[in-house]
Chains A and B, each alone.
Chain A
Amino acid sequence: MSTEVIGAPPAPKVRLLRELTKGFLVENPILIIMLGLCATLACSTSATDALGMGLAFSFVMICSNVVISLVRKITPNQIRIPVFITVISTFVTIVDYAMKAYVPLLSRSLGVFVPLIVVNCIVMGRAEAFASRNGVAASLMDGIGMSVGFIFIITLIGVIRELFGNGTVFGVQVLPLSYQPFLIFVLPPGAFLVIGFLMAVQKKFFQGGGQR
């Protein structure tokens, strides 16, 4: 069945719970699976942008996981990728239009990265590795779990970068105005630095010291 389940399949309820929680730390899409870094790096210059990106991503992730899981039995194997892409890009376009209409300023600051969720490897990866092989409930849980993990990490990166790079968090001045911002944090190298440190922290404290 799924490559995700290690060892003997546990009872259904326990398993659903695990699909939900695994995305947070154990199989965090950014820190462990290390997919979707493009959006993560580019859209985490401020906490607000990061959270917006996380929410847009979550909508696409959860909806496409559910729909792909629903159609997995009627989709012939040869055309599964075109079907996945169509489903994902439909949800991306929906979220893009909705953001343009209702949160135009956020939509503008995220720019091209909202349409680029289409090629976000987390969405595609979960569709291929999970939703196309598991039931709707499990896929829903997987989508929610991955989304929560993604939102948590991208927002954390956004908060750290905005705090050190600009002295603010969610646009609110936190550090004293005399603070000289480390501009590197809001520049692309800062994203790599922060993500690297977060991965180190995650490995050290939540994964038994870097077993792989």
Chain B
Amino acid sequence: MSSSVRLIIVLFLVCGIAAGSLAFVNAATKDRIAAFARTEKTEAMKAVLPQADDFKELQPGKVWEARRAGEVIGYVLAAYARGYSGPIEGLLGIDPQGALTGVKVLVQTETPGLGAKIAGEKFLAQFRGLKAGELALKKDDPAGRIDAVTAATISSRALTNALRKSIDSFEQGGQK
């Protein structure tokens, strides 16, 4: 009896101390973690549409209106794709004429050294200035203007197609 009481007390104390210290750590880091998530989103939007200084959310998590000195200079759209080894999430910016101003990959779990290169500047620079119709891999579509990352066709295709779909659905939504 007394030995089992001792077990309970010791484990209770250990867990209590652990919980207390975790509460302290959580309180100490919570704000920084949340602040980082916020600034990261704004930074990412600035990266795809550098001229803008303010972003207004039109559709939660999907479309943002980019302004510069109060004037609409483009839109930021979210794109989601199923990559080779997991979801890919990205942001893209388009100007009012529908040409891409920039692309940024936010989340990807593609193969390091292969598919992960879709998040690199070398691949993403190709997209700048293109319109939705040109967004396809050269090997998939004669109108396509995108070279896939070597040995990472699936990742490249997933991202490229997701960007095109994202612009298409945004433009169709705008016409309605």
Contact = CB atoms under 8 A, between A and B. Distances in A.
Interface stretch (B47-55, B62-70, B111-119): B111-119
B72 interface: no
Contacts of B114: 183, 186-187
Dominant secondary structure of chain B at its interface with chain A: helix
Interface in A130-149: none
Interface string B18-53: 100110011011001100100010000000000000
B58 interface: no
Interface string A90-103: 10011001101110
Contacts of B125: none
Task: Classify chain A's interface size.
Answer: 20 to 34
Contact of B14 (A78, A87, A101, A111): A87
A76 B7 contact: yes
Nearest to A185: B113
Given A75-B10, A83-B10, A93 B25 contact: yes
A97 B22 CA distance: 9
A115 B40 CA distance: 22
B151 interface: yes
A46 interface: yes
B120 to A, nearest CB: 11
B144 to A, nearest CB: 25
Given A87-B14, A94-B25, A183-B151, A101 B111 contact: no
Given A76-B6, A79-B10, A90 B18 contact: yes
A165 B151 CA distance: 14
A185 B113 CA distance: 9
A45 B109 CA distance: 13
A166 B6 CA distance: 56
Nearest to A49: B112
B26 A97 contact: yes
Contact of A97 (B11, B15, B29, B151): B29
A46 B111 CA distance: 12
B3 interface: yes
Nearest to A108: B107
Nearest to B106: A108
A90 B21 contact: yes
Contacts of B36: 100-101, 104
B87 to A, nearest CB: 13
B25 A46 contact: no
B11 A79 contact: yes
A176 interface: no
Contact of A71 (B14, B25, B40): B14
Interface of A: 45-46, 71, 74-76, 78-79, 82-83, 86-87, 89-90, 93-94, 97-98, 100-102, 104, 111, 165-166, 181, 183, 185-187
21 contacts: A75-B10, A76-B7, A86-B14, A86-B18, A87-B14, A90-B18, A93-B22, A93-B25, A94-B22, A98-B25, A98-B29, A100-B29, A100-B33, A101-B29, A101-B33, A102-B32, A181-B113, A183-B113, A186-B112, A186-B113, A186-B114
